Amino acid sequence: MTNEDIIMLQTIERYLDGSMLPAERSYFEQLRKNTSEIDQMVVEHSMFLSEMHGYKQRRNFKHTLNEIHDKLLLGGDIKVNGETTVKGKVIQLYHKYKRDMAIAASVGGVIAVVISTMFSYFSPSMSDSRLQQLSSDLDKVKKNQQVQGSIINEVKSKLPKNVSLISGGSGFLIDCKGFIVTNAHVVKGNCAIVSNNNGDEFNADIVFTDASKDIAILKINDEDFKNRKSLPYSISKNNVDLGEEIFTLGFPKNDITYTQGYLSSNTGLNGDTTNYQIQMNANPGNSGGPVFNKSGELVGILSSKQTQADGVTFAIKSKNLFSLITELKKEDTLLQKIKMPVSIAPVKNIERKEQVKKIEDCVFSVKAYNKIK
């Protein structure tokens, strides 16, 4: 990251936390209106500050669970070695199903009732004071846990401690072995984590970036990731017809989002022939996401939007990927393994909602950070 990028991020943080003077804030807001890149940075940084806050809450929740575990261990309710008590078996069940119970907690109070019932079933002789103490501890857990939406995210994260997310957006598979394409501006750090719509996180290496083309390639490098047998879509080498219906999937928020539009121009900003102009209300988190035609063929990579015009978005033409990958294979042995799907899309002749169901598992949320040396 350059000094200019650091200064800009510091300015954006002052803008978001309200510490700017009125005159300075007015000038920055005008600059934001006139510069789409700065506006995009503001929205993306705001989104990731929010995600960092949520991550901190989940870590606090995990810490609280550990405190309860230690307390029960000291009280003799569970043992580290040797035979486990009946009460310990109940605690083991709790740890095994704590995520399901956390989801139930969003309904309010359910987790305390479930645990109390389990204790009553397995250990009728347990004293009322013990039950009351456990109920009290669980109430503290619920108070510390901030429910985001109706489902609580997984407590554990593969994001290393003491690092900050720098940038993010969306990405998609171009190969069954875990190669992902996104925008270069989405991965400003030197490390990345990608996650699917189920919330499963995977470590990924940033193997190529080209800021001028705004394209980056990642390779999932995680034992938890299982290679796919095939991709449900093909990657088109042809141009899209003017007025053709298109759609995208991406992560402008925590869960995957579907957006529909149409091709409004065969050139991008200032007549750029490597890009399309599409009429679509895309958000910053959609950057790097795939653009499909009605047959389920990948025709573009969502890259940016024009803030001066409502719903005007740009996408890099997919045919550029083939020439780029061909050149990279001459120099990089890792990228020689990439085999992009070019045959007829398996989802071509099915309804849109079924297309989306098959495609969504191949689209990822991408988060970049700098690794601590």
CATH code for residues 158-373? 2.40.10.120
- For residue 220, what is the enclosing H or E element? strand 215-220
Chunked in runs of 10, what are the mean pLDDT values of the chain (373 residues)?
73 83 82 77 77 76 76 63 50 50 48 46 50 56 49 60 85 96 92 92 94 94 93 92 95 92 91 92 89 95 72 90 91 90 88 95 94 73
CA atoms 230, 231, 233, 235: torsion sign: negative
User: Strand 312-317 and strand 201-210: pairing?
Assistant: unpaired
CA distance 45 to 12: 8
Name the residue ranges covered by the structural domains of the chain: 56-144, 158-373
DSSP state, residue 286 = G
pLDDT of residue 133: 57
Which residues are known to be catalytic? 185, 214, 287
CA atoms 59, 60, 61, 62: torsion sign: positive
CA atoms 51, 56, 62, 68: torsion sign: negative
Which of 201-234 are b and which e, b meaning 16 or more Cβ less than 10 Å from the residue's Cβ? bbbbbbbbbeeebbbbbbbbebeebeeeeebbbb
**Rounded (10°) angle between helices 128-144 and 36-74:** 170
- In 3D, which of 189, 196, 169, 165 has the Cα closest to residue 181? 169
pLDDT of residue 350: 94
CA distance 69 to 61: 13
What is the end-to-end Cα distance of the chain in Å, rounded?
15
Q: Is the pTM of this model over 0.75?
A: no
pLDDT of residue 270: 85
User: Strand 363-369 and strand 312-317: pairing?
Assistant: unpaired
pLDDT of residue 155: 43
pLDDT of residue 156: 61
CA atoms 23, 27, 33, 39: torsion sign: negative
**Phi, psi angle pair for 363, to nearest 5°:** -110, 135
Identify the residue whose tokens are 């759609």: 247
CB 104 within 8 A of CB 111: yes
